[in-house]
Structure 1
């Protein structure tokens, strides 16, 4: 499940730089006070963004029925709506992090909230399926990224000692909202139809506006490239400054790290089939077990995913546990579970499979940050995760539409789920090529000194 734990990294104790002394380097987060308000509002932002993304499978069934007509490829076309939104969200997170440095955390998140609101409101009044690619896919996707990325950055302004607790609270918000929407969306779709369901979701984004206004940055960055800021200066100067900025801040050395390259490509390969169950399980359940409520499957996935993050996150901190092997095992089991979906001959079998897949999802997500630290070190982890998100955007966008296309031509999801189970298993096998690396403990200290 696409989630906000992708950017969750181990706590580190960062000493002050020795090259220069400034107020910013001596800054100590308050670890409380207004920070707890920021924690709650960040939880709401994360929950809203990923709750809506994770429950698209429920909207998918209604959208498919509404626009079906006599179109033989309606499943393929409808799947692209959620896939574009998910892909754009992860892809634009990299851009959002740069823009938040230029414009500020609050302004970037406010723009994201407004874009998300506009995307969902406009989706409510769309009458053509293809226009949803723009409103729900691109506009909502960009808005989600611009709201989500700053919600992680602002936590570092207010917390250090309690950073682990705060990260756990904030990221658990996605599971809470996914469970709530899994129960609420079917009722809304039944009572008020698709239009007002979109407006309800838009209302959640409207609430984000006062939430992000509580994010008062305590650390202010001074740019060494003022001409790169948004202004009316010449394009020529902007290009020169952009090249200078790229050479200075883009960490290409991580791509010379064999372990990181193998890991990132293995994860990207695994995700080609990873998101397929989240989008198509509800429809699959409706086809095979019309009397059962397939929406509960997404809820089961979310519950065990949340539990998995907490339990496996604690296990990953143990010195005797190999984090890469844990994530590798999660991919392999997830793939096997996906392969088994067509063999479930009753609804309770599907529930059991979803519980297993949810646990694997939580394990995979909670290990992204720690493994990045292990492979590239503290100074390269931030950009390593950023590049990883960009890689994720491609398979997360492509997988569900391919499954929808197979359904259109074959009339069932059996082959689609079999195909979806293969990439996670292959990705797990590719991770065997990752060189053994010394693991970094959460209390590790490091220096920025060259």
Structure 2
């Protein structure tokens, strides 16, 4: 009878095979998980990722300001369904960010984090610059603002999250919270900046300034040098870079599907909030304050829930379920704020807080389920799956508004999918991801389900 492998001993990222109770010769496995969890380089990477997220989503989340201007231009041209078509420009941008994310994750693994991020910054800034020359052509804007800016943003966004897994492990949740809070920080100020630029310089020069800001993504790309310790060098081919293992992970597939369902109406409040306020409360109401409240509380939520998610006893998926439930309820209640501006502010604060919760733990959950080796592409594919609902949601809401003349039905319909997704996510509790020896992220999720002892995972001292 041949030797059997009884268990493994994981010691300082080295994997030793224990055969028949005796420690055998140390095996040569590729070690991808040795983050420093601190140091000057790590914090610079975090700051660079913070600004990349801030610039990208600060512009996208502030589209409600640009939307009013684009809609006015289309109305002057007597374009039918001007509301929906103007909304489609912005929804194509965020939809493209997520649609291209699988390719972005693929390129990140194959071409490298730096190159992918730099290319994203170049395409995004170019798209915004070209948009400044065709503001009266909504079809051209679909391509330049919607697709080009979204494509560039995607190529920058996915690696900016993935690089954090190379520098942080213990503090990955709070670091993700800080980084994703970048979009909140920029969302707070960007509506006022864009509004002031439009008033003083016009829509054309506003877009050119946004193009210049996007150029900084290329600068921060040079900070993103991944850490990858290896015991045994491994040559990565084009075929190897495409990780199909994540699709064999049933837990990941179910989780990604419920995320897509939940985001069907996610972007609707961001696009229509300013116009909704002006329609309901009049021209004297501050249409940008609710967007500001969402941005502020989203930043707070990312920090708070990023910290909470780092606690070993916290189930991150359950935390995300709670977030979607509150996002859905808050969105459904928005039409009831007619005549009560303070109530609108309260709901937008709640919406922002749990938006921050959802965003900050998206990356860590992907690493929990798929491990460090599949985490990058897992993030990319789940975002790609979300592109369709994020793109068509605002457009459908605009068409409904054109037919009914009210935002009541669009907002109510937008709040239902997050609630459905929150409930459907309970299915993940019936499934376990495949555990990978030596991968703390994979072990963490299985420990939450009480599987560590059952699978014979040992710590560095050989104890269960």
TM over 0.5: yes
Alignment map for 1:251-266 (pairs within 5 Å): 251-255=245-249, 257=250, 259-266=251-258
- Correspondence for 1:287 among 279, 296, 314: 279
TM-score by length of 2: 0.80
- Correspondence for 2:328 among 335, 343, 356: 335
Q: CA RMSD in A?
A: 3.1
Give the match for residue 276 of structure 1.
268
Bigger Rg, which one: 2
Alignment map for 1:355-394 (pairs within 5 Å): 355-372=349-366, 375=369, 380-394=374-388
1 CA distance for matches of 2:12 and 2:263?
33
Shift of 1:51: 0.9
1 CA distance for matches of 2:431 and 2:325?
21
2 CA distance for matches of 1:309 and 1:21?
35
Q: Does the 8 Å contact 1:108/1:150 carry over to 2?
A: yes
- Correspondence for 2:191 among 182, 195, 204: 182
Give the match for residue 111 of structure 1.
119
- Correspondence for 2:54 among 32, 47, 59: 47
2 CA distance for matches of 1:285 and 1:34?
44
Alignment map for 1:128-207 (pairs within 5 Å): 128-159=137-168, 163=172, 166-207=175-216
Distance 1:172 1:25, change over 3 A: closer
Shift of 1:57: 1.6
Deviations 1:342-372 (A, max 9, x none): 1112322211110111112122223334444
Distance 1:192 1:220, change over 3 A: farther
Distance 1:411 1:391, change over 3 A: same
Q: Which moved more, 1:279-288 or 1:164-173?
A: 164-173
Q: Does the 8 Å contact 1:106/1:212 carry over to 2?
A: yes
Give the match for residue 13 of structure 2.
15
Q: Does the 8 Å contact 2:331/2:414 carry over to 1?
A: yes
2 CA distance for matches of 1:209 and 1:404?
34
Alignment map for 1:35-114 (pairs within 5 Å): 35-69=42-76, 70-114=78-122
State the secondary structure of the residue aligned to 1:192: helix
- Correspondence for 1:121 among 120, 129, 137: 129
2 CA distance for matches of 1:283 and 1:111?
34
| Greater RCO, 1 or 2 (C-alpha within 8 Å, sep 6+) | 1
Q: Does the 8 Å contact 1:251/1:383 carry over to 2?
A: no
TM-score by length of 1: 0.82
2 CA distance for matches of 1:340 and 1:160?
38
Q: Which moved more, 1:102-111 or 1:42-51?
A: 102-111
Q: Which moved more, 1:130-139 or 1:429-438?
A: 429-438
Distance 1:154 1:314, change over 3 A: closer
Deviations 1:373-395 (A, max 9, x none): 55556655444333211211111
2 CA distance for matches of 1:26 and 1:263?
24
Give the match for residue 308 of structure 2.
315
State the secondary structure of the residue aligned to 2:40: coil
Distance 1:260 1:94, change over 3 A: closer
State the secondary structure of the residue aligned to 1:213: helix
| Number of corresponding residues | 415
State the secondary structure of the residue aligned to 2:215: helix
Say if 2:276 is the partner of 1:267: no
Deviations 1:53-85 (A, max 9, x none): 111122111111122232230111111111111
Distance 1:16 1:294, change over 3 A: farther
